[in-house]
Each structure stands twice: as C-alpha cells, then as structure tokens.
Amino acid sequence: MDGGVEGNSTTEPNMLIEPLLRNTNYFDVYDYLIFSGLLFLTLIIGLYYALFEKQETVAEYLMGGKQMSLFPIAFSLIASSISAISILGMPAEVYTYGTQFALIGGVEFLVATANAFLFLPVFFKLQLTTVFQGGIKAVVWTDTFQTFSMLAGVILVSVLGTIKAGGISEVYRKSYESGRIEIFNMDPNPLVRHTFWTIVVGNFFGWLSGSSTSQAIHQRCLSLPTLTKARLALLSLAIGSFMFVSLGAYTGLVAYSYYQDCDPVTSKVVKKPDQIIPYFIMEFAHKVPGFPGIFLGALFSAALSTLSTVLNAASGVVLEDLIQSRRKVRLSEAKASKALKVITALLGALCLSLVTFVDLMGTVLQGAIIGGVAAVSSLAFLSFGSQTAIAAKSIKYVTKPLSVAGCLGSNSSSLYDPAFITGSPFDNHIPLHDDVFWVFRISYMYYPMTGLLVMISVGVIASYLTGFQDLSKINPDLISPICQRFLPKETENEQNECQTNLVNMQPASERQVNEQAKAETGEESEGRLL
C-alpha cells in the first residue's frame, strides 16, 4: 500500500525506520525450551486420559459421566472462547481505534445471564447427545492448563510493557490525550463503526446467537451434575472473558504509549496492526530470557484450546447424525467409543491440511426454513456489499492519531495510509464517502440483530400463510421456561408421554448416566431442572 508523508521531508525511507529495524532479536534456547515444554505438558495430559482414564462408553467419552467438577469446566469454557486471534486482535483494535470495542467484555455478562436462564434449562432437561458432544475429560483439563498459559503470557506482556512505556500513569496520560480511552460514545448513528449502542446491543445478539446453541459450551455444561453448577460455569465464562478482554485492551494502550511517536504500521515496519504486539515483545525480548517463548506458548494454547473443543464436539455430531442415524443397527458402545476417537483424529488431520489455504484468505418448519434462508440471504447481501466497498476503498474508517515524528531522521508529524486515515483524537469513526449505499455503511456489529429480525419477521409471515402449529401438540420441554407459561396446560398423560419420548430418544448408556445423576442429586436437583 502506498503511503504519504505530511510536510517537506527529504529523508530516505530506510532512515525513517532505522531505529525500528535495529530490532534483530530472535528466539534463544530458553524460548524454545519453554515453548516446547508447554506443548509437551499439553500432550502429556491428553495421553494420560487416553491411556489411563479410558472411556469405554459413548456417554463417558462424550459427557464425562456427568461427574465433572466445576473448576475444570469453567476454565475449559474460558479457554475455548479465547482464540489466538483474540489475543492479537484486541490490542491491535485498541491501538488503532481506541477502547470502545473493549466494552464487549461487559456484554458477556448479559449474554451469560440470558443463556443460563433462557436456553441452558432446555438443553439440560433434554440431555440429548446429538447436539452437544465431544471427548470431554482430556479436553477440559488441557484447556485448564492452557488457560493459565494464556493468562501468564498476557499478564507478562502487560506488566513488562507498562514498565517499558514509563508506568501506568504515563500509559493513561498518552492514551487519554490521543482520545483512545473511549467507552460511553452514546451516538445513536448506526453508521458509526463502534459506539456504546453498537457494542452493547449489536454484540449482545451476536454473542447470544453463537453461545445459546453452541456445542462447545453446552457439552461442558451438560457434563456437570446440576443446573446450578452449569449456570455458575457460564458466569465463570463471563468473568474470564471480561478479564482477557480487559487485559488485551490495556495491552493495546501500552503498545500505543510506547510507539506514540514512531508507529510501526505507518512507518511500514510491520504490515498489519495484528503484528504490533509480537513486534513489541521482540523489542525487549533480550532483557527477559524466555519471554517470547511464553507469549508464543500463550498463542498456541489459545489456538489449541479452541481447536480441541471444535474437533471433539464435531466428532459426536458426525457419529450420531451421519453414521448412527444411517445404520439399521446402532454401533455397540465399545465400537462407538473407538469410532469417536478415529473421527476426531481424521477431523484433526483435515483441519491441519486446510492450514495451507488460510494465508489465501483476507483480514414451525416452513417458517423456520424460509425465515432462515431470508436471514442468511440478507446478511450475505450486507456483508458482500460492505466488504466490496471496503476493498475498493469506498468505505474508510478513521483511526485514532498515529505518528512517526519520533522516528530517527523524520521531520514529519504523521504518515497515513489511504485505507486507514489518521483522524482527530475524538473522531467517531464515521465511514467516509457518502456515495456508498447507506445499508452497506451500517456497523457490522448490527448484522446478527438484523439477521434475527429478518428471520423472525419472514418466519412469522410464512407460518401465517402455511398455517401455525397447534400449541397443544408442542412438547413443553423443547420450549424455554420463560415461554412455557404461554402454552396450553397439558393433561398428566400428555406430560408423561412427552417424557417417555424424550427418554427413548437417548442411547441406553446415556439414559443410565442420566438416571444415575438424578439419583445422586436427589429431589432438590430435580426441582431445579423444572
């Protein structure tokens, strides 16, 4: 990308970034030892549960026998929700645009509350296996270890970066003066990229849609013996997400304070804002032996925790929905358990083979079907139009001020890339070029809510035209508790019939596990489920 220099400067480009190019630090033996050690410990945990804690039945492999404790489940939820992209992306977002986006950490508490009381009770009562499966024990304990690894890496970057930048007060002063500390931007304009409303309202629907029926989340919640513990696990997820978002946002402010007068992105030392934190770490890596290895271990822990969660959840779906459902005689428990492990390995190999292509990428039944298709089509229309306009540079989002005035040999005040125009400290990030159709300029945070509204609206109309379903024939166990009050009251025989049908849908091994869990938790636990 071409850049320009403000002012009359005759400085050679290589002299402009000379101090940054002096960064020639590489991994040393300590980094390799620490990084290898973290991966080795992850491998050991998996091997232990594979060799010494064998799960011979499907229910044991998928649900941990419903006897998992809250501690590892909570950390597993946190680990699987934090990806390597999050660890690198949050600091880069705050570095470039300010702290408004960090408000998503608080939104997670709203999402967890809605999930715990609207959706989780339904899945917890059904106890079905086709939607929430995956090898559980090895995954949750490796996730627990990887959570601490991620936490250590992020905290270490924040602490050492703060010292390097001159202290907390200096970080705050520079960030405030540049307008990067911004939380309560109450502008209701939906065309503004990030405001209080786009983050809270838009992100609420975005995260809720992803977590309310998530295999990765609910398979862990269903491995706990009671609904109360499952709800506490979701609360722990909210706390952990808030903590990582806050640390990531602060790290972005620390990086800006350090590079306030010599921005690596503007000066072309790094190509993308996502590369700032790794470059920042290598700036002072030689002073803390093993530090780059710890941070790289944190990135790999974030990536592996997410990957292991997806692989094990997907294996259960493949077995139950693609294999068992097509067989006249279901596989035995022993064969099904072995098949799950083979499927997981094959899916892992498939994911690894697709890594090569990652670099090619850029930064009522009728009513339900019709509504879903309409929602997907509308979102595809919005996304395609918006991304096309951004690629053509017809939409440009204003960043917070970036400068290279402090780079050696530069007498200019700032540089700018046409795709990321340097703005005033308190600019609201309104996309430029009003000639772009206004729909394509709507904040991307509103896309999930838009899809939901389109799906419900079109779905209701389609249901009206094709005929609404008789509410008296709906199984109340499939409805969220808050909505069950609107259903017609059933007779006792109808309720018993619904319960019998649900039990018959479950594999024999899982029915045994569920009955055992109910016996151990007693009547009090059963009351919670209702």
CATH 3.40.640.10 fits 28-351, yes or no: no
Q: Is the distance from CB of 110 to CB of 271 less than 8 angstroms?
A: no
Token pair listed for 462: 């389609």
Distance CA 155, CA 161 (A): 10
pTM as predicted: 0.70
- Phi, then psi, of 192 in degrees rounded to 5: -75, 135
At 329-376, the pLDDT tens digits run 677 767 777 787 788 788 878 877 766 655 544 443 334 444 444 445
**Which is nearest to 4 in space by CA: 308, 490, 390, 419?**
419
530 residues of the chain, pLDDT tens digit each = 444 334 333 334 333 333 334 455 667 788 888 888 888 887 787 777 666 655 555 455 545 445 677 888 888 888 877 877 778 888 888 988 888 888 988 999 999 999 989 888 888 887 765 433 444 566 677 777 878 888 888 888 889 889 888 899 999 999 998 888 888 888 888 878 888 998 898 889 888 877 887 777 877 788 788 889 989 999 999 999 899 999 999 999 999 998 888 888 888 888 888 888 888 888 776 677 888 888 888 888 877 777 777 777 777 778 777 777 777 767 776 777 778 778 878 887 887 776 665 554 444 333 444 444 444 555 565 666 666 666 656 566 667 777 777 676 544 444 444 333 344 444 444 445 556 655 667 777 777 787 778 778 877 888 778 777 777 777 777 788 888 777 777 644 455 555 555 545 455 445 554 555 444 444 444 444 33
Token pair listed for 369: 């079907």
At 387-428, the pLDDT tens digits run 666 665 656 666 777 777 767 654 444 444 433 334 444 444
Distance CA 431, CA 439 (A): 12
Domain boundaries, the chain: 28-351, 472-529
* Count of other CB atoms within 10 angstroms of residue 302: 27
Cα torsion 88, 91, 95, 97: sign: positive
